[in-house]
Chains A and B, each alone.
Chain A
Amino acid sequence: MLKIKEYVRAESLSQAYELNQKRSSRILGGMLWMKMSNARIGTAIDLSGLGLDQIEETESEIRIGCMVTLRQLETSETLERVSCGIVRESVKNIVGVQFRNLATIGGSLFGRFGFSDVLTCFLALDTYVELYKAGVMSLEEFAGRPRGDRDILVRVIVKKTPGRQVYLSHRNTRTDFPVLAIAVSSGSRGVRVIAGARPGRAVCAAIPDEWKERLDGSACTPEEMEKLAGELAGKIPMGSNMRASAQYRSHLACVLIKRGLLRLQKMQEEEG
């Protein structure tokens, strides 16, 4: 059972950062995962009074405060437009509305959880994180770092880089963790395939050079897409857990990547 000795509603980020330097301190996000632990927390630091619960749009980017809930992400028209709907698609099966009204983007990304739909989805977008001390860095770089740093994730920044995205996941039951999550995107950064819930942390699978030009240029046949999907799926390290075996995940990856690539191609055709 979670034990908390002291609760502080932070009055500024600098105060929160100072308090968080003690090993026994914790920043509270939605605290849904934290609450499941037996942690003994010295100081629980609540950022909910700092106005970080807003989604703001500028000409070139969308700035999402760390306390924005998954439900806010789900119902944001701005994110729906900019992400081709994948933000909503990625969070809509996370437990229920009541859960998503509590879980925050900051908590979801800072934890860099292997099962995270949110991490998988935002890796497919041109996403950066703003840390209080370390500054702005790409989400991909942040996702590759080990957990345990004492910094604070303040904002998530999504660049309005033109592109198309598709999000697909497979679940044993509707509101469970995904067995596998695949996000596929195309645009100025080329075609990117992200695999999450492997069950390890989400990773970006590199597209082989010989396929890059073909994907950018003429349309590929479903057979060619299946071949590429098979190649990519074979390179993504998979693991086994109570939901599925590594072998099953590799099989699923091939199917979902193929579907994602074909859907991207269809979107491109429809746009002319």
Chain B
Amino acid sequence: MTKIQISLTLNGKKVTEEIAPDLLLIDFLRNHRCYSVKRGCETANCGLCTVFLDEKPVLSCSVLAARAHGHTVDTLEGLQEEARELGEFIADQGAEQCGFCNPGMIMNAIALFRENPQPSDEEIKEYLAGNLCRCSGYEGQLRAFRAYLEYKERGGAVCAQ
């Protein structure tokens, strides 16, 4: 096996490392203590391992770390403030039970809101179709995203109940 050197920007920091050619991005990231990146189905179906590669959401279980050379990778650890805010809305709605799907769900929801700041319910469902949650029926998450979008529309003010 011929090791290769890769250099990438991980959560804003430059990382250079020698890796095996078949190392997957998920393993590279977890080796770098990005534990928000969860190992789920490993068949590219569940969305738990979602990270941003050059700001686009991808499944880190299905990308070679070698392919990230020269690119920017962001995980939930790098989006702390944005992720925390959205996570609070998910908690408010009791949308999570075990919480294992949450990091991937939040990453992909952030990607959606960056791409389309005012999505319809159908657009939310379509965009998040690749994020599986085995505890809920997705209604809680949908309520949370609606509430988050309303909050953003009001400039970040929480509506009095």
Residues of A near any B CB (own CB < 8 A) = 2-7, 9, 28, 30-32, 35-36, 41, 44, 46, 48, 71, 92-93, 95-99, 101-102, 174-175
Contact = CB atoms under 8 A, between A and B. Distances in A.
Contacts of A102: 44, 58-59, 62-63
Contact of A97 (B1, B2, B66, B108): B108
B66 A96 contact: no
B44 A32 contact: yes
B22 to A, nearest CB: 4
Interface residues of B, number: 31
Contacts of B50: 98
Contact of B128 (A2, A35, A96): A96
Interface in B64-81: 64, 66-67, 69
Contacts of A99: 44-45, 59, 62, 130
A5 B130 contact: no
11 contacts: A4-B22, A7-B2, A7-B4, A7-B22, A30-B62, A35-B62, A44-B22, A95-B130, A97-B57, A97-B111, A98-B58
B11 to A, nearest CB: 18
Nearest to A175: B129
Contacts of A9: 66, 69
Given A46-B67, A96-B108, A102-B62, A2 B22 contact: yes
A98 B66 contact: no
B21 interface: yes
A36 B61 CA distance: 11
